[in-house]
Structure 1
Amino acid sequence: MTEPVLSVRDLNVGFRTSRGLAHVVNGISYDVQPGETLAIVGESGSGKSVGTLALLGLLPPGVAKVSGSAVFAGEELIGRSEEKLRPIRGAGIGMVFQDPMTSLNPVLTVGRQIVEAVRAHGPMPKAAARARAEELLAEVGIPDPRSRADAFPHQLSGGMRQRVMIAIALAGDPKVLIADEATTALDVTVQAQIIELIGRLQSEHSTGVIWITHDLGVVAGIADHVLVMYAGRCVEEGSVDELFDRPVHPYTRGLLGSMPLVDDPRPARERDPLSTMPGLPPDPVRLPPGCSFYPRCTIRADERCRTEVPPLVPIAGSSDRHRAATFYAPEGV
């Protein structure tokens, strides 16, 4: 296996609140290989986005408490000063945020915003930067890039605004691209176009992609490796085939069980009911002493689960990268 372009180890993120420290990311570790897509999945509040924002120092100073290690291209990111992180943002690690309408400046043309991103990573004449902005718009599939560069965000459709965000993220030719719920607000047709676009750009540039989502249907089609998060912890990880074919952790099995089967030939009234998980995720200020999923587990939960935190261990019969944090793997796995 090649050297990972990004290696995260024991990342912890907490937020100082009036009630105490909220533990939102708790000891997650992963690697991103060149040209690989790592999907980070979980319900809202599981720590998916916060963990990646911490890598780039984008959390509020004085409020966020970050520890652990994140090595990008041989350099440690955690604890790095704002001045030293600035060249890595965009040029090393690019990010596509969830809602382009709130991420783009509404009073600046999209061309000017791309030009700013281009010139932020090295001296370049305005005319050359403008030409590069038009090239990027063409690269992400926006027709008539010269005139579109003079448009304001509100004059573009949701799909085109997301393409502009991807163009900005690609302006520095990053080695890692973080897509944070990049297709959530889009209809399924545009969603498929954006997924195809990022996949094409990834193959052309051998970019490592971190895809943050709660949509397992998207994950099944694009991911190489999957990290399942719950209450700030990784509860299972493995290749996309391993997780969909042999899910181990009760939370992973619950997520997959809540997905409707679009190819089920049976009439709707004859199909098995979708599974649900009772209860709510735990309060991050007062995490339970044992397994965080213990209060919601309907498969097997005993005193050991209530008092001990299950370690993330390899699953027998799977690859070394398929691991789950549970004391009781289901029979036959």
Structure 2
Amino acid sequence: MSGDRPSPASGAPLADTFGRTHRDLRISLTDRCSLRCTYCMPADGVPWLAKDTLLTTDELVRVARVAVEAGVDSIRLTGGEPLLRPDVVDVVARLSALSGPAGAPELSLTTNALRLPELAVPLREAGLERVNISLDTLRADRFLSLTRRDRLDDTLDGIAAALAAGLAPVKINTVAMRGVNDDEIVDLARFAAERGLHLRFIEQMPLDAGHTWRREEMVTADEILAVLRAEWTLTELDGRGAAPAQTWLLDDGPASVGVIASVTRPFCGDCDRLRLTADGQVRACLFAREETDLRAVLRSGGSDAEIDAAIRRCLLGKKAGHDIDDPSFLQPTRPMSAIGG
């Protein structure tokens, strides 16, 4: 079947059984990465997804089109490292041409920034609006220890390239880790404030490949805020909506810092995100252990209506929350690099 006809459900919101409407689609372009962050991937021996299981560009754009026509108005490209996909600029250009009830979707990308010096301008011209860049330390020796790669200068060059290309805002994602980089909280906040970057500290989540996460080793939102309050007056901003980060002004602004407290201050009740993995599985929650196979629908000649229906079936199974604090919680079998952020 051609799949060009609108689905019968076009116009109906992508809702779950708790009344949450889903407008944010995260698309993983690859599970591969150019770094080996200790909290995400092992140093070697990573079982990469087989090439023939990865969605083609035509396939992932088709899924995105169906989702946009159903009300998705924000798409973020993730990985692994999405800039490792050879046709990433073409992917952005094709996604930026989509249109739904709210018009064209906002396009963003999460990256380690290593390829941004060469790609920031082409991506911006293709329709990318903003980037989230991972940066956990400003110390070269610590960057090498954390990522197993000596690439801090390349990351900083990538941040500068994103700013120069007019990608805005440029957000910095920092995973706060006890005894690892928690002594850099103020330094990182000052670094971001001086450059007009939007820094977000993230509580470490149970999504590592080795399943070694321990809550007691995680730096909590309260601890992060206590460190910041010793340096600045913090004013909490209202209007968070479905955004994962709660934001505070530093000394009345304009600089601000966000905290994503997925573990200690879960925001599941306002979640509007769904995820498409690089191998075509749709997930209703970052911590879900269940997936819905869209690749099979696509490659069996399924229609747009069947793609739409599969996405909605997945959302019907979405839980009220991730239950990390529940003794029965089980970490997803896939690591973050294979899920997409």
TM-score, normalization: structure 1?
Answer: 0.34
Larger RCO: Structure 1 or Structure 2 (Cα < 8 Å, ≥ 6 residues apart)? 2
TM-score, normalization: structure 2?
Answer: 0.34
**Which protein is bigger by CA-based radius of gyration?**
1
Instruction: Give the number of the structure whose residues are more often strand, by fraction.
Output: 1
